[in-house]
Structure 1
């Protein structure tokens, strides 16, 4: 009987673990993110402190080469347009090492931004110093910060990589709506779906 009970307990633990978002190293919900100063495709340096009146920040780790990131490019651009008027600043950061993925070089970033008409700063994490602080693991991987740079949501943009038209849960937008209403986002964590970040070992 004890063996059966132990087996049932083990089964429950495994089942719960499979559906639980385990935070990686980096920022957790409620942490205050440090500012950064990174070069964008327009040649200028950007940091969150540049936006004194921002109500919040949408920090998206993304890149050129990843098929998942490409599927979200238009959606990210639309989010930047939509939420700029609401006081939220979208900053996209390419965390990949171009020595390992040449299509993610700064020059290729400039080309991609021009081709797609990006309306947001597309920043290069030169030396790969910023993404480990955040704990980003995928492209795309989203971090929503409030005006005080407190992390309020981490994860995916929505629940459908392949089709924006078939999205049922807009995780990021729902999290922003919660902040606007003075509520806690629910969920606060979702699983980011995308390509692994290309980093030197």
Structure 2
């Protein structure tokens, strides 16, 4: 009985560690708040290559590392879609990037991405980080993991890193909408109050 309890406890700990990224994890690697994010060129589900520099009229970006196969990412799909509908016309479009190794997660391959985007009616680019070069630059560790960038004279500056909101399980029970609060602050030329939060999701598969 004690052995079963220990095994169960170990599994609970493993799942918890997998799902949550602490603030120190976020800030120890990849971009920090205030860093300038380098541009990229990644293939979209329509076959075209997409870069941040393509968006001449953008004031910034909501960059979301996400995928098809992670239940956390799936739980947030409608909310990500909602972010794009709310903010794209205001200058902050969503740019979704699938970072997983498709040999490990074949359900995240390009054809699956196309199918998922069509099923859900995605209105934002859904790009593949095929070489797995971009997500390490950002320091993303989870799906979903969000980075809000603001266009400044020196480039696309990181203003927020972390989760979309404070309740992945129930959109109706959300108390704090981290991404919306951050973008609203930037649109009103105000300081982002909460700049970093824990990214909750599945670990990126390498």
* 1:64 equivalent in structure 2: 68
Deviation at 1:186, TM superposition (A): 1.4
Find the partner of 2:129 among 125, 128, 135.
125
Are 1:192 and 2:199 matched, yes or no? yes
Deviation at 1:43, TM superposition (A): 0.9
Helix, strand or coil at the partner of 1:59: strand
* 2:139 equivalent in structure 1: 135
Larger radius of gyration: 1
Paired with 2:86 and 2:112, the residues of 1 have a C-alpha distance of 26
* Higher RCO, 1 vs 2 (CA within 8 Å, ≥6 residues apart): 2
Point out where structure 2 has 5 or more consecutive residues left out of the alignment.
Answer: 1-21
Find the partner of 1:32 among 36, 58, 70.
36
* 2:158 equivalent in structure 1: 151
Paired with 2:185 and 2:79, the residues of 1 have a C-alpha distance of 20
Query: What are the equivalent positions in structure 2 for 1:1-201 lying under 5 Å apart?
Result: 21-22=23-24, 23-148=27-152, 149-199=156-206
Equivalent residue pairs, number: 180
Helix, strand or coil at the partner of 1:186: coil
Paired with 2:171 and 2:127, the residues of 1 have a C-alpha distance of 24
Paired with 2:120 and 2:35, the residues of 1 have a C-alpha distance of 33
Task: Write out per-residue CA displacement over residues 6-46 of structure 1, whole angstroms, 9 at most, x where no aligned residue.
Answer: xxxxxxxxxxxxxx721131000000000001001111111
Point out where structure 1 has 5 or more consecutive residues left out of the alignment.
Answer: 1-19
Task: Write out per-residue CA displacement over residues 88-112 of structure 1, whole angstroms, 9 at most, x where no aligned residue.
Answer: 1210000000000110111111111
Helix, strand or coil at the partner of 2:196: coil
How much is the aligned-residue C-alpha RMSD, in angstroms? 0.9
Segments of 4+ moved more than 6 angstroms? none
Q: Normalising by structure 2, what TM-score? A: 0.86
Helix, strand or coil at the partner of 2:37: coil
Deviation at 1:147, TM superposition (A): 1.5
